[in-house]
Amino acid sequence: MITTRPLFSRQFRPERKNLISSTIRQNASTTTPPPSTPEKAPDRLTQTLTLSNGRTLSFAEYGSPQGKPLLYFHGLPGSRYEIDFHDLGLRHNARIFTPDRPGMGLSTFQPKRRLIDWPSDVKEFTRKLGLDEYRALGGSGGGPYSLVCAKALPKENLKGVGVLAGFAPLEAGTEGMTLRGRVLWNLGGWLPRLTEISL
The model's pLDDT over 46-102, given as tens digits with 9 standing for 90+, comes to 999 999 999 999 999 999 999 999 999 999 888 999 888 999 999 999 999 999 999
Distances (CA, A) of 137 to 62, 159, 164: 14, 11, 7
* 55 touches 107 (CB < 8 A): yes
- The 10s digit of each residue's pLDDT in 107-140 is 999 999 999 999 999 999 999 999 999 999 999 9
In 1-88, at which residue ranges do the beta strands (DSSP E only) sit? 25-26, 47-50, 56-63, 68-73, 83-84
Tens-digit pLDDT profile for residues 1-42:
332 333 333 333 333 333 333 333 333 234 445 454 445 566
**pLDDT higher than 90, residue 165:** no
pLDDT at 154 over 90: yes
> CA-CA distance, 30 to 28, in Å (whole number)?
7
The CATH class given to the 19-167 domain equals alpha beta
- Find out whether 181 and 174 touch, Cβ atoms under 8 Å: yes
CA-based max dimension of the chain: 48
pLDDT for position 185: 72
- Report how far residue 35's alpha carbon sits from residue 52's, in angstroms, rounded to the nearest whole number: 32
Q: Given this model, what pLDDT does residue 136 score?
A: 98
pLDDT of residue 198: 55
Query: Is the separation of the CB atoms in 40 and 86 below 8 Å?
Result: yes
User: Do residues 47 and 60 touch, judged by C-beta distance below 8 A?
Assistant: yes
Q: What share of the chain is helix, strand, coil (3-state, %, to 5)?
A: 30, 20, 45
Per-residue model confidence (pLDDT) at position 43 = 85
List phi, psi (to 5°) of 36.
-90, 140
pLDDT at 45 over 50: yes
* pLDDT (0 to 100) of residue 32: 47
Domain spans of the chain, in order of start: 19-167, 174-199
Return the number of other C-beta atoms located less than 10 Å from residue 103's C-beta: 11
Across the chain, how many H-helices and E-strands are there? Answer: 7, 8
CB 149 within 8 Å of CB 134: no
Task: Give the β-pairing of 134-139 and 94-99.
Answer: unpaired
* Section 147-162 average pLDDT: 98
